[in-house]
Amino acid sequence: MDDPPIQDGDLDRATDREYAAVSVPAVFSVALAALGVVAFLAAVLLAVPALAAVLGLVALRRIRRSRGVLTGTRLASAGLALGLGLTLAAGGYHGWQWYDEHRTLTSLQSRTHAIMDQIMDRRWADVWDQVPTDSNQQPLGLDRFRRGMTALFAGAGEAGDRELRALQILPTERGELVAVAEVRARFKNRTLDFNVWFQPDDAGRWRFMGVGARETFASASRHGGPAAPAVPGAFSR
């Protein structure tokens, strides 16, 4: 009498090695885990090692339930461990980067408001005293800076609201970093745009490098006269 056919679920890895197959999720898990280092390049790429960890877990469950039909436990375990480790490491790296940038931008925002307070109070000399000697704005000189600001504010009328429109860190053509805060100040008769510039020194401390200002096109068109002369800043914009 012939023996009944062996069901796949009843195969024993120890006695039927020729029937055992490597788990496909385990293979993909370890492959994605090997590619998981790309997660340090961008936060969105955290999906790569995370998927490796998920596939490793899925593979382990399938292998355990296959009763010997599937193999690849070591591959799945390696994919799970490496994928999880890279997800945590890269996630921590991007988290720290975000925190450091957020802290920097918050500090620059506070300094921008302090400088704008001086500008709105017409304390031109106090602002100029903060511009370092190696700033691109230094050749302008205090007298020209004061005359430019005075002309810009002449006829502007009573001050209204002030808005920080943007604050971003940008690379220059020479590969250096600069931060520019764009502030719009509205007066009764004029609307003025200011660019407040910062740049890190060799120790990574951000320094105030200067401020440029101009009247907006809409403001000049509204009052019908020529726009007030612009005050050149530390960098071109």
Q: Name the pTM for this structure.
A: 0.71
Q: Rg of the Cα trace of the chain?
A: 32
Q: What is the pLDDT along the chain (237 residues), one digit of tens a residue?
A: 444 454 544 444 444 555 579 999 999 999 999 999 999 999 999 999 999 999 999 999 999 998 888 899 999 999 999 999 999 999 999 999 999 989 999 999 999 999 999 999 999 999 999 999 999 899 889 999 999 999 999 888 888 899 999 999 988 877 789 999 999 999 998 899 999 999 999 888 999 999 999 998 888 887 766 667 888 887 765
176 and 86 in one domain? no
Domain of 20 in residue numbering reads as 8-96
Asked, for residue 27, whether it belongs to a domain, the answer is: yes
Could you give the CA distance from residue 54 to residue 230 in angstroms, rounded to a whole number? 58
| Total number of domains constituting the chain | 2
Helices and strands, counts by H and E, the chain: 6, 6
Asked, for residue 105, whether it belongs to a domain, the answer is: no
Alpha-helix residue ranges (DSSP H) falling in the chain: 24-35, 47-65, 73-120, 124-128, 142-153, 217-223
- List of residues 6+ apart from 162 with CB closer than 8 A: 116, 120, 183, 184, 185, 186
Number of Cβ within 10 Å of residue 112's Cβ equals 23
215 and 128 in one domain? yes
Query: 177 vs 41, 115, 202, 233, CA distance in Å?
Result: 19, 20, 11, 16
